[in-house]
């Protein structure tokens, strides 16, 4: 039986099954664990999470009504679906006075093309300024990040799709624009404050400014780099951080992303070889957005991966990215690679079989589980158009929540791979 308790109702001996509320307030990188120490308890009580989901069967202390515990009926769906009043002030759009009205792809495409051209020029000017050793003015970039954020809000796929096409000589500049757009989209999905969203957009525009310290012959070299050249390339995060540190009004998020967007969670990245909890959320986000845009970019000499191919490959690189955050990044783009467990609006679960690899394309799903009866059903395949209403794919679901304890084996069996 699962119980929902307020953070102040948590006790040592309770087994945390999940956290509710803003993911960023979640004080632990693991979401399922036994509360064993006073320090863990203090971190939970001092966090901003809305509530905790406690698994009674794994707890040494039974949640009591006196602690505000409310039993969760599993048949009604995951904890987030339970009829609990959501108090979060960070609902999408809550901090923006009036979100722009959505428009069609064709309408936004025209505006996005103009905005990309303007943004590319602004980033080129900013790089030129940096090359001359002059301070970078963040205040010129903030309105640009805001416009990019508004374009994504009007139609998420227009700008993100267009900016993937990059000629060789404009790659660095358009890559900065793309990372800006991806960071804004991702930060909004994580329900970060709008101020942080904008700062992370500026961070995307500035993250590679240290590349001005790399000679073009090295930066644009298509072949393998020698030791000296690699050292030059790996110096760009520190060079960028130093340059931005000497500039006024640079958001702290931009300094952090510039310095640490090439770190890896296993500590093999550069420049500081940070790992685990030493890596900030901003650095983890920057690493994901940076690589995702690089591998999905259409270049004259390199075929781009589709977004689904990119995500599947990134998930398969052990120790590079934060796996939970990478899942959330995929969710932010509405992309679920083959093999992902998804929930349908009619209360069934399915496994994604495939799609064309792009966001917003029809998706084939193998449906195999009924959430109402908590039983497997005879599996069947169904295609879902992006415009499907009911049933439709509502999003990724958690194998752990449904107690699919050996998910890899179960998935292989359902897919006929076992």
CA–CA gap between residue 287 and residue 165 (Å, rounded): 20
Measured from the CB atom, the residue of 108 and 208 that comes closer to Fe ion is 208
* Size of interface with Fe ion, in residues (CB under 5 A): 1
Which residues make Cβ contacts (< 8 Å) with residue 52, sequence separation at least 6?
4, 5, 6, 7, 10, 14, 16, 17, 18, 19, 20, 44
Q: Are 285 and 169 in contact (CB under 8 A)?
A: no
Instruction: Supply the minimum distance, in Å, between the C-beta of residue 280 and Fe ion.
Output: 16
Helix ranges (H only) for 3-92 are 38-45
Measured from the CB atom, the residue of 233 and 351 that comes closer to Fe ion is 233
Cα torsion angle, 204, 205, 206, 211, sign: positive
**Which residue's CB atom is positioned nearest to Fe ion?**
208
Is residue 256 near Fe ion by the rule CB under 5 A? no
Measured from the CB atom, the residue of 214 and 342 that comes closer to Fe ion is 214
Instruction: Supply the minimum distance, in Å, between the C-beta of residue 236 and Fe ion.
Output: 6
Tell me the backbone φ, ψ of residue 328, rounded to 5 degrees: -70, -35
Measured from the CB atom, the residue of 208 and 263 that comes closer to Fe ion is 208
Instruction: Supply the minimum distance, in Å, between the C-beta of residue 214 and Fe ion.
Output: 10
Measured from the CB atom, the residue of 138 and 283 that comes closer to Fe ion is 283
Measured from the CB atom, the residue of 208 and 322 that comes closer to Fe ion is 208
Measured from the CB atom, the residue of 172 and 198 that comes closer to Fe ion is 172
Instruction: Supply the minimum distance, in Å, between the C-beta of residue 183 and Fe ion.
Output: 13
Instruction: Supply the minimum distance, in Å, between the C-beta of residue 290 and Fe ion.
Output: 6
Site string for Fe ion, 184-213 (x = CB under 5 A): ------------------------x-----
Residues 206-245 that bind Fe ion (CB under 5 A): 208
CA–CA gap between residue 83 and residue 281 (Å, rounded): 30
Q: What is the CA radius of gyration of the chain?
A: 23
Which residues make Cβ contacts (< 8 Å) with residue 167, sequence separation at least 6?
300
Tell me the backbone φ, ψ of residue 59, rounded to 5 degrees: -90, 150
Instruction: Supply the minimum distance, in Å, between the C-beta of residue 285 and Fe ion.
Output: 14
Instruction: Supply the minimum distance, in Å, between the C-beta of residue 217 and Fe ion.
Output: 18
Residues that bind Fe ion (CB under 5 A): 208
């Amino acid at each position: 039986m699962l119980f929902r308790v307020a953070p102040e109702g948590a006790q040592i001996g309770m087994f945390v099954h999940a956290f509710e509320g803003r993911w960023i307030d979640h004080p632990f990188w693991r979401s399922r664990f036994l509360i064993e120490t006073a320090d863990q308890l203090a971190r939970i009580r001092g966090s901003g999470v809305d509530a905790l989901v406690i698994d009674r069967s794994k707890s040494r202390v039974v949640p009591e009504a006196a602690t505000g515990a409310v039993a969760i009926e599993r048949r009604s769906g995951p904890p987030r679906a339970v009829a609990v009043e959501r108090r979060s002030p960070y609902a999408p759009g809550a901090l923006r006075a009036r979100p722009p009205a959505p428009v069609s792809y064709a309408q936004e495409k025209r505006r996005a093309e103009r905005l990309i051209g303007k943004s590319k020029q602004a980033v080129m000017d900013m790089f030129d300024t940096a090359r001359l050793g002059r301070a970078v003015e963040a205040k010129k970039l903030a309105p640009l990040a805001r416009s990019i954020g508004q374009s994504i809000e009007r139609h998420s796929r227009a700008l993100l799709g267009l900016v993937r096409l990059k000629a060789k000589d404009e790659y660095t500049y358009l890559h900065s624009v793309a990372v800006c757009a991806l960071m804004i989209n991702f930060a909004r999905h994580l329900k970060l404050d709008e101020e942080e969203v904008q700062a992370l957009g500026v961070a995307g525009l500035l993250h590679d400014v240290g590349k001005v310290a790399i000679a073009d012959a090295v930066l644009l070299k298509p072949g393998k780099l020698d030791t000296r050249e690699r050292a030059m390339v790996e110096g760009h995060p520190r060079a960028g951080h130093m340059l931005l540190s000497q500039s006024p009004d640079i958001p702290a998020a931009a300094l952090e992303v510039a310095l640490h967007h090439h770190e890896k969670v296993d500590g093999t990245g550069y420049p500081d070889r940070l790992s685990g909890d030493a890596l900030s959320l901003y650095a983890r986000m920057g690493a994901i957005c940076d690589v995702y845009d690089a591998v999905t970019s259409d270049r004259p000499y390199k075929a781009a991966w589709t977004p689904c191919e990119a995500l599947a490959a990134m998930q398969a690189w052990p120790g590079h990215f934060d796996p939970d955050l990478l899942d959330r990044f995929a969710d932010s783009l509405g992309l679920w690679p083959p093999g992902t467990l998804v929930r349908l609006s009619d209360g069934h679960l399915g496994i994604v079989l495939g799609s064309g690899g792009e966001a917003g394309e029809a998706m084939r799903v193998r449906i195999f589980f009924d959430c109402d009866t908590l039983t497997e059903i005879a599996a069947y395949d169904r295609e879902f158009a992006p415009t499907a209403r009911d049933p439709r794919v509502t999003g990724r679901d958690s194998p752990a929540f449904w107690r699919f304890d050996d998910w890899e084996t179960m998935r292989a069996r359902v897919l006929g791979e076992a």
